[in-house]
Structure 1
């Protein structure tokens, strides 16, 4: 493989820029990804290759929009696969990010975790570190049912007799 003139001079090609782009720490990208996931893009637990393709599409679209580049999906896919085959870890997408424990005090802003961060916390068994995560007991409610305080609704023929009286 020969280096082009721009690569030999130390200037990164668009693919190298794409590979080194900090998607996992880009707040705008993470918020957009969260809204895409909330919209159901990854519902029904798709296979890993389809999930990775969906995430790649989001990364390529966002990178092209932010940098003004015109990287194609096929080129990005081939580049990512070649980087994985050679063992280069420069390409770290949102599913490869490392999650630090989250702590939020009462005076701090609410913490918004990316999908990858949530996934990593759940896989590590640290669900207690997920902000606003409530433990829902699996037991049935043992409390007696409440009694209705509202009077029973009148039937149509009962309402007609009251209006004529």
Structure 2
């Protein structure tokens, strides 16, 4: 399990924060364990069939609530998280149903892992040039001549010399 940030554990400096506030400020976008789990769910087909945006938001919310409860030991409910997110949605510029995460402005040049909702929005709006590490692969075939093999071909089983055992 990854290290839990102080803002999500309810440490003494955050004692006045409610579990929902901690959930809203939890760094899901930078939590590598959460991102790996989300990637495996997506690869497993959790979002296949192009569900409507509200269904996608609900699926992603379920993953966040489950992970948050598991990591922090809190027990917020799905309905509480949904109501809290919807009441704070106006502050989110993307409208993707995810509470916006504050960017670490000390390292603006460093690429960060995008959430699924952020990646989806960039693709849908045609801003694929803003996707980090997105390489454009040309559709042409490589025109260079292929290299020649420098190692001898492996012998077939019937070509291998058998070593007779000395008696």
| TM-score in terms of structure 1 length | 0.55
Q: Which runs of 5+ in 2 are unaligned?
A: 1-17, 102-106
> CA contact under 8 A between 2:34 and 2:67: conserved in structure 1?
no
1:55 aligns with 2:60: yes
Q: CA deviation at 1:126?
A: 1.6
Which has the larger helix fraction? 1
Would you say 1:90 and 2:83 are equivalent positions?
A: no
User: What is the deviation of 1:39?
Assistant: 0.9
RMSD between superposed Cα atoms in Å? 4.2
Partners in 2 of 1:144 and 1:110 — Cα distance? Answer: 36
What's the secondary structure of 2:117's corresponding residue? helix
Partner in structure 2 of residue 115 of structure 1: 116
1:148 corresponds in structure 2 to: 149
Count of paired positions: 134
Given that 2:128 and 2:134 are in contact with CA atoms closer than 8 Å, whether structure 1 keeps it comes out as yes
Larger Rg over CA atoms: 1
**Could you say if the C-alpha distance between residues 152 and 21 of structure 1 is closer, same or farther in structure 2, counting changes exceeding 3 Å?**
closer
Give the conservation status (yes or no) of the 8 Å contact 2:119–2:131.
yes
How far does the alpha carbon of each residue in 1:55-83 deviate from its partner, in whole angstroms, 9 at most, with x for none? 1212333554577653333x348x64xx8
Per-residue deviation, 1:160 = 1.6
Question: Which residue number in structure 2 is paired with residue 22 of structure 1?
Answer: 24
Question: Higher relative contact order by CA 8 Å / sep ≥ 6: 1 or 2?
Answer: 1
Helix, strand or coil at the partner of 1:118 = helix
CA gap of 1:69–1:38, structure 2 versus 1, over 3 A, is closer
Conserved 8 A contact 1:20-1:90: no
Shift of 1:125: 1.6
Residues of 1 paired with 2:150 and 2:48: CA distance? Answer: 43
